[in-house]
Amino acid sequence: MLEIPDYPFRAYIFDCDGTLVDSMPKHYEAWLASLKLHGAPFDFTEEFFYARAGVREQDVVMELNEQYGSAIDPDAVAESKVEMFLKIIPQMEAIKPVADFARSLEGKFPMAVASGSEEIIVRGCLAASGLLHLFPVIVTPAYVKRGKPAPDMFLLAAEKLGVDPKECLVLEDGQAGIVAAEAAGMQWAFVPRTLR
């Protein structure tokens, strides 16, 4: 069940992957294929993947390189992962309880998406799941200096929505996003993987 804090929020900011759209298993498959293509000498576990939900791909690869003493090209891995993922975007479906909540807010409150994925992926996933029209504001790491867990994307989304950060609710499935929301001074609602 989606638990929303009891507070008169004036705007809502949603993560995309794993929050609005059930895309995380497909992202994991694309990660594995891209890392294999680039000769990654380490295991990329599902546990590690979910622990980094919302973090920019290049930052994840840099962390793995540091952890394992490898030199995999972060940009090359991210680019091939995006290419692989774009091919399967038409398969994406909304996470119904969260999508229904977003639809219930349409025309009543401003809404944005703040996602660690590239904008082409975010827009594609939202379009495939019938949600793109709900979100006039989409913020990705390309628009800020620091991605999640820094608060930059959420603060920019609030600014674009014209709402004080304290009056925004963030809906997130990733720890990095929750940390970012707290750093932005925003309340948050956790979207568990079991909510489908």
Residues marked active site are found at 15
- Exposure letters 9-44 (e unless 16+ CB within 10 A, then b): bbbbbbbbbbbbbbbbebbeebbbebbeebebeeeb
Quick one: DSSP state of residue 91? G
Q: Which two tokens stand for residue 186?
A: 């925003």
Q: What angle do CA 156, 175, 6 make, to 5 degrees?
A: 70
**CA quadruple 183, 56, 86, 49: dihedral, nearest 10:** -90
The 187-190 sheet, strands edge to edge? 137-139, 111-114, 11-14, 168-172, 187-190
